[in-house]
Structure 1
């Protein structure tokens, strides 16, 4: 049994797609399909129900998948120990990151990482925060990047803190002010993050601590949509300063510092607590720490 076939099978299951699994492994879709068929021929039963959309595992397939995942993880750990002895950085690194981590910063860091470690196959997916945690927990991602990282079943590696500021459209009456007393926010129309996000809960705590009540009229799960709504005049918002670089340079938005407070959004890396990060993951963390600014 070839490990490549096992890896492709697990990828098909986690992505619920032959085409996406093939793309991730840089093979044709027919090659991915053949790999799964080879395993099914070996065990004499169907592992994946192809009549379902999305694809689903058969009972036998679930047992096989659980065992294959453990086997691949054990093999990865053995390889890591050998690579450490020879000081090699090689293999595959899958990263799941929140949308607002900073595409410009990440693009530069990814390019630098590829130049420094050409033997590492790096993929970065930008997803909802809940999806970052799920991907890491389920083994679909080796490393996650989130804001306000939570521990529990995850090991957290702090990265950096980003200042948060009040954001208004240029025509707003606050736009002419460099510093804004928090009391002035009372009753303001706000565009906020969705209530289930940690960043939204933290912003609510900040406002409550200041005795401020706002009228949230729109909620989004990412900074980009919030910025577009503020530009359209739907309200004002509180956002991380680094996510505003383009809009501030183009004067489509104005940042106003809150008076007397220091609002910060912590960013951090997460990985499964019971799993030692790979050398590639550690080097990626080091690369981001060196090449990105607050």
Structure 2
């Protein structure tokens, strides 16, 4: 229990939020708060200044956080070494994923994997892209699932999926009745896109520029969920990955139109720390992800979590 409390405290400290930490650990906010309170009582020190928004660590909290992060890294490394001694595939695979991977898609994959390897538990946490890389870098996660994956420096990546980018419009838009579009048809349209700091925004801008297309950016978001809601209310059209639209297409709240003269895709990749050997369980999970690439989204709608997630 003490180790679990430490894990929750580190999550609260890294996210500056009890609610986000609770969500990551699949618990109530009050339970996350209780865990931190228990540590503070044990130490006789306040670790988090709850009067600040966002939350801030106290001087004691900063010292404790750095020490606990090192302790957790060492503990997980020992676990990995012990599990690596066994011939059978067993242990825990820790995965950090961007939200737009889709909860249902991951649930399907995890269920298949744990049926094949009953001695392995897969734990997935959904995060902002930068937080996914930090979790992999720090050893908090064995694997990261991201779009437009980095491959260099601290990280090595392998391809996972190539998701078709489609033009997304509300049912009332004049494009909604069309079977396909040309890239040039987007010229002059009000456009819902992503924040400039995101790789997907930079790629979309490159695609449009190469096609000689100029759009009127009406809204920019850091996540797909908000972009979809903006298109639904008529704020503009968007370019989004088809697998993230299953729910809206089924409900009829959005229409997706393929581009006839362009093949634009969002690459999804699996990242790990460079030069860090994966456990047998983590390797097996990577193999399953790559062998099943794309199939869960076709088999069942890849629903998004209710909390908006980054692309």
Q: TM-score, normalised by structure 1?
A: 0.81
1:95 aligns with 2:118: no
Whether the 8 Å CA contact 2:176–2:257 is kept in 1: the answer is yes
Indicate how the Cα distance of structure 1 residues 56 and 134 shifts in structure 2: closer, same or farther if over 3 A, else same: farther
How many Å separate the matches in 1 of 2:287 and 2:136? 19
How many Å separate the matches in 2 of 1:48 and 1:271? 36
Deviation of residue 30 (structure 1)? 11
**Residue among 1, 4, 9 paired with 1:12:** 9
- Aligned residue number for residue 223 of structure 1: 224
- Aligned residue number for residue 162 of structure 1: 163
Query: CA deviation digits over 1:83-130, x for unaligned, max 9?
Result: 2xx22312x222111121133221211222333333333321222212
1:71 aligns with 2:69: no
Indicate how the Cα distance of structure 1 residues 75 and 172 shifts in structure 2: closer, same or farther if over 3 A, else same: same
- Aligned residue number for residue 151 of structure 1: 151
1:52 aligns with 2:53: no
How many Å separate the matches in 1 of 2:156 and 2:207? 26
Query: What are the equivalent positions in structure 2 for 1:1-294 lying under 5 Å apart?
Result: 9=6, 12-16=9-13, 24=25, 49-50=46-47, 52-53=49-50, 54=55, 55=57, 58=60, 61=64, 64-65=67-68, 67-69=70-72, 71-83=74-86, 86-90=87-91, 92-152=92-152, 153-293=154-294
Q: What SS does the aligned partner of 1:140 have?
A: coil
Q: What SS does the aligned partner of 1:233 have?
A: coil
Instruction: Provide the aligned length of Structure 1 versus Structure 2.
Output: 280
Query: CA deviation digits over 1:13-42, x for unaligned, max 9?
Result: 344399969x9599x87996799689x8xx
How many Å separate the matches in 2 of 1:197 and 1:71? 32
Structure 2, gaps ≥5 residues long: 296-311
Indicate how the Cα distance of structure 1 residues 36 and 274 shifts in structure 2: closer, same or farther if over 3 A, else same: farther
Deviation of residue 246 (structure 1)? 2.4
Query: CA deviation digits over 1:65-91, x for unaligned, max 9?
Result: 3652453244134213302xx22312x
Whether the 8 Å CA contact 1:47–1:62 is kept in 2: the answer is no
Indicate how the Cα distance of structure 1 residues 52 and 178 shifts in structure 2: closer, same or farther if over 3 A, else same: same
How many Å separate the matches in 2 of 1:175 and 1:31? 51
Whether the 8 Å CA contact 1:96–1:125 is kept in 2: the answer is yes
How many Å separate the matches in 2 of 1:63 and 1:194? 31
Whether the 8 Å CA contact 1:155–1:273 is kept in 2: the answer is yes
Q: What SS does the aligned partner of 1:281 have?
A: helix
RMSD (CA atoms): 3.3
Indicate how the Cα distance of structure 1 residues 122 and 31 shifts in structure 2: closer, same or farther if over 3 A, else same: farther
Deviation of residue 235 (structure 1)? 0.6
Deviation of residue 258 (structure 1)? 1.8
Q: What SS does the aligned partner of 1:218 have?
A: strand
Indicate how the Cα distance of structure 1 residues 77 and 103 shifts in structure 2: closer, same or farther if over 3 A, else same: closer
Report the structure number with the largest CA radius of gyration.
1
Deviation of residue 51 (structure 1)? 5.3
